[in-house]
């Protein structure tokens, strides 16, 4: 395999020049294709344009855009000449952009639209290295004026292509010469894992980190030349970025869509894709959409649907037990399974076949006739959703990883999935389970997951102190996730030790700054954010009892005991308003960092129970102690 990403794309474009690499929606809402030859040639012209402007190897270039064809062409182009991209999406806050672009000292910034220029220019004084913008859409007059006043060069994407065309004609072989210099350990990108809600950490990922995964992922998530993959996620996120490299490495087609039902469902029908990589929330939305439609239909149709779904789930459960498709932490006795389950399985089979004719195939048809698999990543895939699609005959495989592993650690193979786990580690990656003291545990024992191998990052940019906290001298990365290893080497993720909360849309939230903000209220003594793998954040709140009782008296709220006061809707409404005033965009928080639900705790945390000896909250214990309360929050 080639040693850099542009070399891989070059090789694919030479083997499959006329295969469509990208399908993008035009202004008329129709999809138009870009072949591999066209895509690679555009990237090399873009590379030439950057060279003509004086771009050097290892120069950092901001890439602030959502997923579109120009993103990939720009990325391949700048990587071809040894530059390093610093990506972020259009939803990035001004504070995010200020920190990320100044910290990496970007010289050029590629942006999707004028809104991004306006955000960045509002903090231009903090980014003194910035010399130019390259914009995909046509710039507004305001964006032009801002750049002109600040003496910042402004180019359209097509301008760079034109400059590159002329440069390459005058300097034949120069871009190729730079491309050939690239090597395995060169940094390809610096991806920041958090924004205003925590200390931003720039993960340095090399070409080799990405390429290591392409070896076996082509077998587990296989595509044929020209097969279509519907892409709906932000490409600055490492999961989507790696997905696109997997697609391109197999000469398949990236089809650009959005994770919005009104866009995604028509695109599924129109494009008939073979693969749908997405966060769990997308598959949850499909599941809820089908069920909502059936409930609205009602009558005998809904009764029949509900009956056959139950039959399919029961049949699938028996089938998985019989054919060893369940995650297992202990060796069992297959003979006993066959003795007790064969008859129920046989009795359910005719009903399952009838259900396929009446129900299941109609559900599968919504995903298209070509649909081979969905890939769920970026958050935990709920068991109920997993079981539903498995029963319907829709293959959705769960994967796991993190930005620091570029990102894949493990993923179920499309052709041989095992239910209830993330599969075995991919080739080039080793995994082990350790206890809190670092002792290696055997199979079937819960502990912290550590990984090692070619996907592990080079470190955090300019932060060796943070790197040393997560990465050992001998290369083991502490994921901060609790896991268990099955009898056949598959891994199952059980929760998190570290503080970061990952919502089921893939958004990372650092809870401490939000909690600190909440605790500024005179009414809130302690708060703990929850919401791992949920749609939104929730909070467990212990009130300042004295202040709460004073407020109740001032507002003529009667109650007998303090616990009764905590149940008063007036108190809940007051605290809800308090939270809205503290956690909002004005205070630097993004939409997904807002708290949608909360509950009151009747007593304070105790050392040795919820608190460590240093009086730090032990979050992994909170999940167990308050399991009932958390479940009630997200019902």
pLDDT tens digits for range 247-273: 999 999 999 999 888 899 899 999 999
Contact (Cβ atoms closer than 8 angstroms) between residue 257 and residue 232:
yes
DSSP string, 133-178: EEESSPPPHHHHHHHHHHT-EEEEHHHHHHHHHHHHHHSTTHHHHH
E-only strand ranges, 435-573: 447-453, 459-460, 477-485, 491-496, 501-502, 508-509, 524-530, 537-543
Give 434's contacts (C-beta < 8 A, 6+ positions apart). 440, 441, 447, 448, 450
DSSP 3-state of 35: strand
**Which secondary structure element, helix H or strand E, spans residue 411, and what is its range?**
strand 408-411
Contact (Cβ atoms closer than 8 angstroms) between residue 393 and residue 364:
yes
DSSP 3-state of 327: coil
| Residues forming a β-bridge with 401 | 408
Contact (Cβ atoms closer than 8 angstroms) between residue 32 and residue 259:
no
Instruction: Note the pTM of the prediction, 2 decimals.
Output: 0.87
What is the pLDDT, as a whole number, of residue 560? 93
**Beta sheet of 429-434, edge-to-edge order:** 429-434, 447-453, 477-485, 491-496
User: Rounded distance, CA 282 to CA 393, Å?
Assistant: 18
**Which secondary structure element, helix H or strand E, spans residue 64, and what is its range?**
strand 60-64
Phi-psi category of residue 354: left, alpha or beta, with phi > 0 → left and psi -120 to 50 → alpha: alpha
H and E: helices and strands count for the chain: 23, 25
Residues of the chain with pLDDT under 50: 195-197
Contact (Cβ atoms closer than 8 angstroms) between residue 132 and residue 153:
yes
| Residues forming a β-bridge with 481 | 496
User: Rounded distance, CA 315 to CA 360, Å?
Assistant: 13
Contact (Cβ atoms closer than 8 angstroms) between residue 524 and residue 212:
no
What is the pLDDT, as a whole number, of residue 197? 40
CA–CA distance from 560 to each of 36, 541, 557, 566, 573 (Å)? 73, 21, 10, 11, 20
What's the sign of the alpha-carbon dihedral 155, 161, 163, 167?
A: positive
User: Rounded distance, CA 248 to CA 214, Å?
Assistant: 10
Contact (Cβ atoms closer than 8 angstroms) between residue 449 and residue 357:
no
What is the pLDDT, as a whole number, of residue 199? 66
Take residue 213 and report the two structure tokens written for it: 């995964």
Scanning 475-525, the segments in alpha helix (DSSP H) are 511-518
Residue 131 CB burial class (10 angstroms; 0-12, 13-18, ≥19): middle
Question: Tokens 């930005």 appear where?
Answer: 403
Residue 395 CB burial class (10 angstroms; 0-12, 13-18, ≥19): middle
Q: What is the CA radius of gyration of the chain?
A: 26
| Residues forming a β-bridge with 448 | 434, 482
Closest of 478, 518, 472 to residue 496, by C-alpha? 478
């Amino acid at each position: 395999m080639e040693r850099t990403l542009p070399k891989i794309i070059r090789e694919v474009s030479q083997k499959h020049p006329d295969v469509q690499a990208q399908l993008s929606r035009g202004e008329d809402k129709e999809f138009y294709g870009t072949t591999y030859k066209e895509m690679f040639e555009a990237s090399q012209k873009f590379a030439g344009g950057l060279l003509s402007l004086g771009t050097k190897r290892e120069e950092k270039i901001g890439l602030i855009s959502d997923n579109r064809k120009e993103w990939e062409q720009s990325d391949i182009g700048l990587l071809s000449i040894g530059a390093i991209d610093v990506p972020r999406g259009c939803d990035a806050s001004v504070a995010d952009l200020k920190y990320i672009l100044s910290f990496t000292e970007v010289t050029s910034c590629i942006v999707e639209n004028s809104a991004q220029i306006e955000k960045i220019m509002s903090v231009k004084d903090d980014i003194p290295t910035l010399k130019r913008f390259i914009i995909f859409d046509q710039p507004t007059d305001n964006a032009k004026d801002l750049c002109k006043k600040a003496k910042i060069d402004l180019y359209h994407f097509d301008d760079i292509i034109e400059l590159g065309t002329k440069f390459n004609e005058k300097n034949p072989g120069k871009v190729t010469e730079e491309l050939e210099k690239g090597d395995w350990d060169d940094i390809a990108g610096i991806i920041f894992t958090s924004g205003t809600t925590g200390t931003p950490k720039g993960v340095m990922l090399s070409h080799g980190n990405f390429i290591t995964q392409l070896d076996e992922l082509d077998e587990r998530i296989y595509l044929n030349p020209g097969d279509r993959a519907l892409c709906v996620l932000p490409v600055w996120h490492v999961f989507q970025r790696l997905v696109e490299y997997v697609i391109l490495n197999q000469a398949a087609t990236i089809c650009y869509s959005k994770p919005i039902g009104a866009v995604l469902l028509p695109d599924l029908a129109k494009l008939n894709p073979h693969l749908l990589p997405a966060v769990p929330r997308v598959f949850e939305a499909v599941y809820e959409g089908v069920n909502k439609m059936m409930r609205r239909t009602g009558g005998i149709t809904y009764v029949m649907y509900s009956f056959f779904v139950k039959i399919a789930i029961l049949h699938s459960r028996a089938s998985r037990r019989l054919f060893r498709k369940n995650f297992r932490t202990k060796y069992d006795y297959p003979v006993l399974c066959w003795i007790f389950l064969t008859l129920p399985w046989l009795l359910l089979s005719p009903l399952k076949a009838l259900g396929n004719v009446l129900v299941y195939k109609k559900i599968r048809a919504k995903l298209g006739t070509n649909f081979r698999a969905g890939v769920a990543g970026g958050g935990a895939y709920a068991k109920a959703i997993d079981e539903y699609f498995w029963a319907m005959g829709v293959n959705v495989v769960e994967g796991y990883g993190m930005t620091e592993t570029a990102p894949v650690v493990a993923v179920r193979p499309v052709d041989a999935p095992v239910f209830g786990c993330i599969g075995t580690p991919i080739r080039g990656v080793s995994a082990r389970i350790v206890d809190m003291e670092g002792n290696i545990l055997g199979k079937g024992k819960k502990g912290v997951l550590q990984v090692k191998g070619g996907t592990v990052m080079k470190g955090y940019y300019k932060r060796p102190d943070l790197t040393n906290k997560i990465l050992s001298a001998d290369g083991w990365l502490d994921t901060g996730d609790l896991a268990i290893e099955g009898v056949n080497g598959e891994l199952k993720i059980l929760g998190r030790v570290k503080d970061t909360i990952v919502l089921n849309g893939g958004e990372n939230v650092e809870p401490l700054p939000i909690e600190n903000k909440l605790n500024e209220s005179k009414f809130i003594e302690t708060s703990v954010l929850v919401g791992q793998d949920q749609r939104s954040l929730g909070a467990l709140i212990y009130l300042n009892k004295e202040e709460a009782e004073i407020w109740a008296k001032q507002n003529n709220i009667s109650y007998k005991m303090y616990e009764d006061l905590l149940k008063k809707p007036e108190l809940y409404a007051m605290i809800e308003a308090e939270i809205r005033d503290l956690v909002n965009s004005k205070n630097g928080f993004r939409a997904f960092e807002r708290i949608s639900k909360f509950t009151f705790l009747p007593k304070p945390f105790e050392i040795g129970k919820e608190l460590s000896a240093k009086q730090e909250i032990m979050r992994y214990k909170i999940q167990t102690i308050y399991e009932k309360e958390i479940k009630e929050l997200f019902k």
